[in-house]
Amino acid sequence: MPDAPLLVIDDLRVSVEDTEILKGVSLTVDRGRIHALMGPNGSGKSTLANVLMGHPAYKVTGGTVHYRGEDIALWTPTERGKAGMFLAFQYPEEIPGVTVVNFLRAALSARTGTEYTVLELRLQVMDAMKELGMESEFADRYLNEGFSGGERKRNEVLQLAILEPELAIMDETDSGLDIDALQTVAQGIEKSKSPERGFLVITHYQRLLDYLTPDVVHVFVDGRIVATGDAELAKRIEEDGYDAFKEGAPV
């Protein structure tokens, strides 16, 4: 459905071991827009990210998720990735023995259905790394092995630049970063913006939004979206904290 919104989440309810984590989440992400989802630790933000990518540990008990107009309830994580959905992990895993460039070659080949040689992809990766301020030898290191927190997050943004997904879900990519790395991550997201791509940027802190201006901000508390607005809403969070948005708090 070419005219359908990129992502439509409608009354999504999710449980883990009979404990309800997501309690009726509804959210629409259009192409060309950056949505920031902000909430305290333990509110269910990462659960939402994992569910969108089809993580089997989570049980969807109600609601729907449509991507490009299609219900993706039965899609595997691989099918979602091939269709242009991308998740930047909060805690990226190490993969010893697999270099960054080989990982990206395999991922891009699976994403596009085109087999790339290492040389073809290396040229593309080198250009992207230069944009991100990464050293050239980074391409030949084993994926995330011995990487600092900042290097792991830069690598996630490098994947975003190479794979060019239609929907990019960034799960607390800013966590644990110093100011320089934070700016690099924000700039990488900004450079990856396009009229055909939508972003769902999940964060706990307002500081990422000092360098990245979202089109829409959602406040996520206790498994629900409790407020939606523009970038000014993020400033209110900085001033009043998340307690101001909890049930029973004064408006």
Using 50, 70 and 90 to split pLDDT, how confident is the model at 153? Answer: confident
Q: What is the pLDDT of residues 197-206, one digit of tens each?
A: 999 999 887 8
Report pLDDT for 37: 96
**Torsion over CA: 219, 40, 204, 15 (sign):** negative
Q: Is residue 82 part of a domain?
A: yes
Q: What is the pLDDT of residues 81-126, one digit of tens each?
A: 999 999 998 788 889 999 999 999 999 998 888 898 888 889 889 9
Using 50, 70 and 90 to split pLDDT, how confident is the model at 1? Answer: low
Calpha distance 54→194 (Å, rounded): 25
Residue with tokens 């239609």: 166
Q: Is residue 108 part of a domain?
A: no
- Helix ranges (H only) for the chain are 45-52, 77-82, 100-112, 118-131, 149-163, 179-191, 231-240
Q: Inform me whether the pLDDT recorded for 4 exceeds 70.
A: yes
Q: Inform me whether the pLDDT recorded for 47 exceeds 70.
A: yes
Task: Specify the pTM.
Answer: 0.91
Domain count, the chain: 1
CATH number at residue 172: 3.40.50.300
Q: Is residue 141 part of a domain?
A: no
Q: Is residue 136 part of a domain?
A: no
The rounded mean pLDDT for the chain is 90
Q: Is residue 166 part of a domain?
A: yes
Domain range for 19 is: 7-92+147-245
Q: What is the pLDDT of residues 169-208, one digit of tens each?
A: 999 887 777 788 788 888 888 888 999 999 999 988 788 8
